[in-house]
Structure 1
Amino acid sequence: MLEIDIPGFDLLRLEHIVMDYNGTLALDGSLELGVLEKLRCLADEFTLHVITADSHQQAESQLAKAPVKLHIIPSEAQAETKLEFVRELGAERVVAIGNGRNDRLMLEAAALGIAVIQMEGVAFAAIQRADVVTPNILDAFDLLRFPRRLLATLRS
């Protein structure tokens, strides 16, 4: 668990990280370089969840050695399904990370929403609903490994 009090933002007590797969952790179905190692580092403090429609059908094999709980969802109503998943975990304890339009609702609902740009780009709707935008997933993970960075970005 990560606990950090950000003046003018919130006292965060974060237990879960909920992540999109394609465009966030992976490009064209394959994990981005360095993601597996960072996930292993974060697994000591957080329960890690990947929620995806798995359009490239590679998430299970790519994440086989990752300390994550994989949740494959239907192609229909992805945004709503991801939102409901975050709510079921307790949104006040969740960091959500994504890049797509279908991530916008979970980014907004989570205690901390991080939009990542990555090679695929990022949907403007995801940017609008996130608390922080990072240029890539590794930087997003480092915000959680080095939480004073969040303090510097989010305080008011």
Structure 2
Amino acid sequence: MRISIPDRGELELKAAVFDYNGTLADGGRLVEGVQDRLIMLSRTLDIYVITADTFGTVRQTLAGLPVQVVVLDVEPGGPAKEKFVHSLGASVVAAFGNGANDALMLKAAGLGVVVLGDEGAAAETLLNADIAVSTITRGIDLLLDPRRLVATLRR
């Protein structure tokens, strides 16, 4: 996915990395509307879900969806998430998260999106994002219709 943003240049995305709890899921369950959007998004980007899996539900919940699940077994998770984004080539990654442990990956990514959602978002993560969205479905919609990204990011 290549997006030309006036006065910013080209943004090329090859992958999307999502935090799970508080971002894609609430209480371990996918937010309504996420499943269909992930399926549509997988047609243009590789999708990864990276999580400490607080509720132990991520593999079961995402089974059958076109996503790769990465369960972290290290604390703190923030540096591990950042390292994962770098392993994909950070500049071609759109990263989504809300917690303090997502701040580093949003800062490293070519596009960092903080999701406010029902849990809210850590201030540090908000400051490291390129875009803030009210819900994850609105965030994914930015990638499904890149004109929205242009409208938000143009100077």
CA distance in 2, matches of 1:59, 1:8: 39
Q: 2:117 aligns to what SS in structure 1?
A: coil
CA distance in 2, matches of 1:142, 1:108: 21
Equivalent position of 2:70 in the other structure: 71
Q: 1:45 aligns to what SS in structure 2?
A: coil
Q: 1:10, CA displacement in angstroms?
A: 3.3
CA distance in 2, matches of 1:91, 1:119: 28
Q: 1:75, CA displacement in angstroms?
A: 4.6
Equivalent position of 1:54 in the other structure: 53
Aligned length, in residue pairs: 155
CA distance in 1, matches of 2:24, 2:51: 11
CA distance in 1, matches of 2:109, 2:137: 19
TM-score, with length taken from structure 1 = 0.97
Equivalent position of 1:14 in the other structure: 13
Of 73-82 and 47-56, deviating more is: 73-82
1:143 and 2:142 are equivalent in the alignment? yes
Equivalent position of 2:42 in the other structure: 43
TM-score, with length taken from structure 2 = 0.98
CA distance in 1, matches of 2:123, 2:37: 26
Listed as ranges, the gaps of 5+ residues in structure 2 are none
Listed as ranges, the gaps of 5+ residues in structure 1 are none
RMSD: 0.8
Q: 1:74, CA displacement in angstroms?
A: 1.8
Q: 1:7, CA displacement in angstroms?
A: 1.9
CA deviation digits over 1:67-122, x for unaligned, max 9?
10000002502000000000000001100000111000000110000000111111
Question: CA distance change for structure 1 residues 29 and 75 in 2, over 3 Å: closer, same or farther?
Answer: farther
- Asked if structure 1 preserves the Cα contact closer than 8 Å seen for 2:74 and 2:80, the reply is no
CA distance in 1, matches of 2:138, 2:91: 22
Q: 1:8, CA displacement in angstroms?
A: 2.4
Equivalent position of 1:3 in the other structure: 2
Equivalent position of 2:104 in the other structure: 105
- Asked if structure 1 preserves the Cα contact closer than 8 Å seen for 2:51 and 2:72, the reply is yes
1:31 and 2:43 are equivalent in the alignment? no
CA distance in 2, matches of 1:42, 1:88: 21
Alignment identity in percent? 43
